[in-house]
A and B are shown apart, each in its own frame.
Chain A
Amino acid sequence: MSEIWTERILSFSRSPSRFLSGTTADGFLAELLRELRDDRANYSLKVLLLSPLCESPSLLCLSDSVGEETALELMSVFNQCSPKALQFRCPLLLALTSVLVCTSCVNNRSRASQDFLDLLLQITQDTADLHGDGVALRATACDCLRELEACSPGLLSQRLELLGGLRQREMSRLHQAYAGLHTLVLRNAVYQLTQETGAGAEHLKALLGGDTSVAWEAELDLMNNKDDSAILSSLILGPMGTVPTLQTGPDCKELRSVLSSLLEESYLLTPLSQAALLHRLTEVVAMVPGVSPAVFRAQLLRLLGTSEVCLLHSTLLMKSAFTDSLFSAEDEAFLLHRLVVLSQHPLLTPPEKLFYMDCILNFPENRPIGCGDDALPVLLTPRLASVLVPTVFNDSATLLARLHLLCLVYLEEEEEEENEGGEEGRGLAYLFDHLTSLLHIVDNGGSREIVVTFFRAAFLFLSYFFHVERYSRSLMEELCSLYLRHPHLAPHFINLADHIQEQLSEASWATEFLKALQGAVTDTDLASRDLRWHLKLLSRVAEEGDIHQRSTVSFLSRIITSSSLCVKGDWRLGNFLLGVCRCLLVHPGLDALLIPLADVLQHLACHYGDTDVRDHARLYYTLLTTLSREKLAGVLSQESGEGGGQAKKRTLSCIVAESEGLTSLLTVHRAKKILLRLMEEPRTETGSGLNQSEANPEGASAALEQYRAQFDVPGFASELPLNYQLTHSEGADSCFDQLFSVRLHFSLTDDHYEPLGDISVPCVFRERPPPSVKLGLKPRRPQPTTLHASAIFTSQDGLSWLTDLPDVHVAFQQTFLPLPAPETWGRGGRLSLFEGLWDEMSEELTGGATSLFCCPLPEEALAALVEKHFLPYVVSDPADREEVKVLFFLPPQSHLLLRICSEETVHFSVATDNWQLLPHINSYLLTLTGTHTHTHTLT
């Protein structure tokens, strides 16, 4: 049992959506709760069972009320389990917290959440058990309270004094948990006061003293009306942030004494908790101008020397909040120097060093000049920054971060020198040298990581220093010769050119770069194995209207005439060639290229060894020689229009290049939205057409025998014909108005049915009536089910798409069929069969079951109900009002019989040969009658 659960929980956490598609959230939740209540299950299994509730409560509790009920259940489990079972009770508290918070029960102050709050407060105050087990439970209770307060700020404001007292009295390690809770509640309470007009010292004092009589009125509901995110957000956000303040005047000695007591003991907390505490207290002091930031001074020296990243970080945040009211100019210089040291300290891990570098870029200056991203602190001189220059020994992330920082430093330096008429600094020269050494490593066969790092570094350098002609030109030359030695890096070169062009649209570096690459490629004798890269690059070059393409065309001409390329007839290479030609066809300088390009195309069309390539070359040749330039551009232009234009583009030209077009034509796209859905078609069955000849069997047993003989024929009455209409779902884009070759695929979510084959629908047009789709479901067991459905189709522009359809739910009543009685039978035969079946089911040994469902229902309502829902299944005479007999056949071989008679209340006597159907019929009748009644099941 426990292995099955372990496996199930694992598969839930791996993919909750897939797991829940095989069952329902309600069902799974109910199973979890049942198992948690089970005394036989061991605690380690139960802890595991809690994990879905801890990690994904909102997936399991679909509404607040379910959350509320679940929480009540869990609380009763908590109350019933042994106090010794600590390893279970602690996670149980966490699960409760998760459920209550995530279903908004806490925000709504629901009953369960109030009970839970009381329970937690009771545990935290239960100090009788000083040692051992109780301590861990109290710690967890504090954590839960802190989380509740964090998610629902102000929840515990009224308990501030209580929590402060608990914290002060606690001598064990637990004081940390109390301190964390106390500071958070204090911070939120003070924040709430700042939002109260007219709140002041008195209110603060009352709050801290736990004097509820003076407490302000608005209290609890306050936060529900406000913007929740504001109070959750940190108040220390650098120079741009504003902090709400509480005007108290200088007299707030109560707050001051709380603060100093918390700070005095901060040393006793772990660094992580200490950092959080300092941050919260920083916020409190920032909100209350009456308290001087000097309260932190005693801690400062200890914090400035710390080796812990989070403690130094909280100190930086403190500086950001208080600037020169707590930190002198010397402190500022010290901190910045320390950040520089730490950014390259041999004992720190790379992520820590990177973080410190980020802190330099966002250094909280006492008097910031500029603000926003990447404003370097004034104190960061090039000399100081020089210890952070990148070297080839750095890992990629460090190298790029250092390069970025140094680029900013030297950019600033360069600007200053320019103003002073000086020459470019040595720093910039160093960066360029560094880039060159990286390039040499790439040249010498560096790993993929180094290649990627180099191109990123090159991009970074260029984006800051593209204007320094000396370096940008020299880098271009180096890159070109690198390309010739390593043509397989072509995608990186194209990527670099693309981004430079995008980023520095005003500079022409990218164009010149591409031109230089073109020159390098077309000037050299080339090994044919690199040809595909050259062609790829030349295609990109040909996209540039400003670059003359004559050399490209003569290059093409040279390779097709002077090599064995045409003879070999490689399809891929041929397509790369055509790709270049295609770009040339839309090049603005086409006129000058007309004759040589036509020659190239003609040569390809006549001599290339691959028919497909020849055909396309011929097409291009024809287009080039017969169409005017404008028309040619219209036909081929990538940008040309939507809709119809797209279709033309794809059919004519996309196949020629390994371009986006080809890829998109060959791939099945996933639709972003649901585009289609299946709507249930109203059932059109009426009462079964009764044969008038009345060739009825004699007696019930003969009827049964005759009826059952039919089932000897394989496949008899085994299919449920479910009729649907395939329609567009609402909100689908207009480009999907006409869909062709729709293929619907269904997958089962359980094994109650035989797998369903795919269904093809020729087309779905929005303006036409929706096509009908018949799902022939073959049940193995008559159970309701859900089908996943998806569709692949072709849109107007020729692309293939995959879209999911909303799940198809097959309800219990949809599994009913009218009685498949022999056609010759009349009513009499059916009635005999009904009686025969009923008698069999009432016998105890056959595995049948009977049940009674009662509800008050006026006679007219009953008649209407029968008319509306049961008519196709009624076997008794419609004139017989005393007792209506209804027979549902549920393929493959189950029956459900109803005798409905109306006395004071309406009695639905139920009999079935499949007892598993009873719960379904029960809930079906409940829905039909819309009442809650008692039923008795007699088996």
Chain B
Amino acid sequence: MSVRALWIISHEKGENVSLRFARRFATVEHRAKILAGSSYTAVPEDNTVLQLLLTELGLSDPDKPFVALRDDCFYRQRSPALELRMDSPGKGMLWPVLAVSHGPITLACLPLVDAPAEPRPALASLLSVSQGLTLLAGLQTFLLGSGGKPDSEVLVSRLAMLPSVLLQVCPLGTPLDVPLPGAPSTPTVPTPAENQKQPAWKTGLHRGRAAVNVALIETVRSMQYGNRSRQDLWDVYGTVTCKCEVEGVLPNVMVTLTLPPNGSPLQDILVHPCVTSLDSSILTASSVDNFDGSAFSGPYKFPFSPPLEPFRLCSYTSQVPVPPILGSYQLKEEENQLRVSVTLKLHESVKNSFEYCEAHLPFFNRDQFGVVDVKVSSGQLDVSKEKNLLVWGLGQKFPKSREVTMEGKISFSGPTPGPTDPLCTELTAYIKLYFKVPDMTLSGCSVDQHSVQVYSSAKQRITTSRELQSKEYFIWNSTGSAPVSSGQMML
């Protein structure tokens, strides 16, 4: 349950590769040697590891079209564990090398295999693998922040902090914790003499007024084909994020999620480890089961003791009967130009009050726009600087009819070819919708301010919020062949 070594590399699509950080854990290596016996393979020097890793990730020799070692169709490893094959004398293997990439940064580690080396044990029997994944994910968040673009200056300063951070979270190669995202861990605030042990995941104690913030964000994804032979798809998942400032070593808080009557049950509920107990009925509904009308539909109670930093209390998925915006997209090829026709309908159950709503219509594998003669019934139409994308800003509201249209013709006679995409050839094209609706959820799920209970003597300030946002919301041209995005509906 330890890792033998850890590497952090940066590269730009296989070029300008540099090793930003490397750490070997000698005592774990010592154990690896004993455990593996005669099939032991020592971790080679960093440069060798780097080269082998890039080969396995398919990033080495970016200028060569085919390299047998890199592109062999016989795909041995079962991800996420890579297998690094030594070409030096002895011909050993390093397995299982875990690697996670985000943008230009790749983090990799080599967990200890605490099982007989022959025959090779299943990945699933090695706890060090899931621990390694957790450690890498934690380090990644620490170095790059969660999501967003990595900032190279922040990265450099975080890398400089890494040795002292590892001293705390992974001394001697055994991962104990993940580094706190953001600031380096602060020294412990003295614990008052109490009978309650302080949780190891709580770095200090809050002093002052109690405040609890619960934010519920639902995300909707969709693939709409406008085609009878193919069913449209959409799904919804929600996350509840909390920030709790409550006094005490182990204060109790309870958040309750409620659904409207007839709301479809929340499925696939996953909870943060600080949740103290769960009712088994909460866990029963699953998106891969047949829908069961009798399923438990709330209220969903989550008792927990909060850590100091913001955290994701729980997540769920939900099956809603209709997509919030139903679209149709039709393209027709007419002598050097495309006839475009789009309709978007906002479902009546959705609040007609957006923070933003935009439709993007990219065009690939064609020349740049020549003449764009397109009219919209509502909102504003822009042509991107690169002349290959229409941006239709719908503003904060749909018109009263809840329906907007776009009609017109585009000719592609620009001087230079636009971007290419191997998927969107000929009439295969899509509209991608970006929108956010404050203070609503599709599932109807909500957190009532008064349902949040804080078992503490002090007075509390409790705020709750909810919103709906889109992600990967595609409407495909119904006259082209759209790629299949999920087999579930096809079978």
Contacts and interface: CB of A to CB of B under 8 A. Distances in A.
Interface string A282-309: 0000000000000000000110111111
B137 interface: yes
B73 A456 contact: yes
B475 to A, nearest CB: 15
Nearest to A458: B73
A87 B174 CA distance: 19
Contacts of B491: 382-383, 386, 389, 426-427, 430
B433 interface: no
B27 A351 contact: no
Interface string A76-117: 000000000001001100100110011000000000000000
A444 B425 contact: yes
Nearest to B425: A444
A364 to B, nearest CB: 8
A452 interface: yes
A229 B283 CA distance: 40
B80 A355 contact: yes
Nearest to A496: B73
A644 B197 CA distance: 79
A334 B188 contact: no
Contacts of B487: 386-387, 389-391, 427, 430, 434
Interface string A127-161: 00011100100011001101100110000000000
A830 B329 CA distance: 107
Nearest to B486: A391
Contacts of B425: 444
A678 interface: no
B31 interface: yes
B294 interface: no
B165 to A, nearest CB: 13
Given A143-B171, A354-B80, A272 B131 contact: yes
A393 B115 contact: no
Contact of B34 (A232, A396, A446): A232
Given A14-B46, A55-B26, A392-B423, A236 B125 contact: yes
Contacts of A820: none
B484 A391 contact: yes
Nearest to B194: A171
B275 A391 contact: no
B125 A362 contact: yes
Contacts of B100: 349, 351
A341 B188 contact: no
Interface in B298-324: 312, 314-315, 317
B172 interface: yes
B415 interface: no
B273 interface: yes
B30 A308 contact: no
B305 to A, nearest CB: 9
B385 interface: no
B46 to A, nearest CB: 6
Interface in A520-568: none
Contacts of B272: 307
Interface string B395-423: 00000000000000000000000001011
Contacts of A350: 80
B384 interface: no
A359 B73 contact: no
Contacts of B122: 238, 358, 361-362, 373
Contact of B65 (A55, A384, A448): A448
Interface in B1-39: 1-2, 19, 22-27, 29-31, 34-37
A270 interface: yes
Interface size classification for chain B: 35 or more
Contacts of A340: 288
Given A400-B79, A441-B422, A459-B75, A270 B27 contact: no
Contact of B486 (A310, A383, A389, A496): A389
A495 B200 contact: no
Contacts of A310: 127, 130-131, 133-134
B91 to A, nearest CB: 9
A306 B273 contact: yes
B345 to A, nearest CB: 25
A173 B185 CA distance: 13
A441 B423 contact: yes
A347 B19 CA distance: 29
Contacts of B348: none
A294 B191 CA distance: 34
Interface string B59-71: 0000001101011
Interface stretch (B175-183, B332-340, B386-394, B462-470): B175-183
A349 B390 CA distance: 31
B190 A229 contact: no
A307 B312 contact: yes
A173 B176 contact: no
Contacts of A334: 283-284, 286
A55 B172 contact: no
Nearest to A172: B191
B370 interface: no
Nearest to A372: B119
B240 to A, nearest CB: 12
Contacts of B289: 337
B325 interface: no
A58 B27 CA distance: 10
Interface in A225-261: 228-229, 232-234, 236-238
A860 to B, nearest CB: 50
A383 B290 CA distance: 10
Closest 6 CB pairs of A and B: A389-B487, A176-B200, A307-B270, A351-B80, A313-B130, A397-B79
Given A13-B22, A351-B100, A386-B487, 17 more contacts: A171-B195, A173-B188, A175-B198, A233-B114, A234-B126, A236-B125, A267-B276, A302-B273, A302-B278, A346-B221, A346-B237, A391-B485, A391-B486, A393-B485, A426-B491, A442-B422, A459-B75
23 contacts: A13-B46, A14-B47, A56-B26, A57-B26, A94-B167, A102-B29, A132-B187, A171-B195, A171-B197, A175-B197, A237-B116, A238-B122, A270-B177, A276-B127, A317-B125, A341-B286, A355-B124, A387-B487, A397-B80, A441-B423, A446-B422, A495-B72, A496-B73
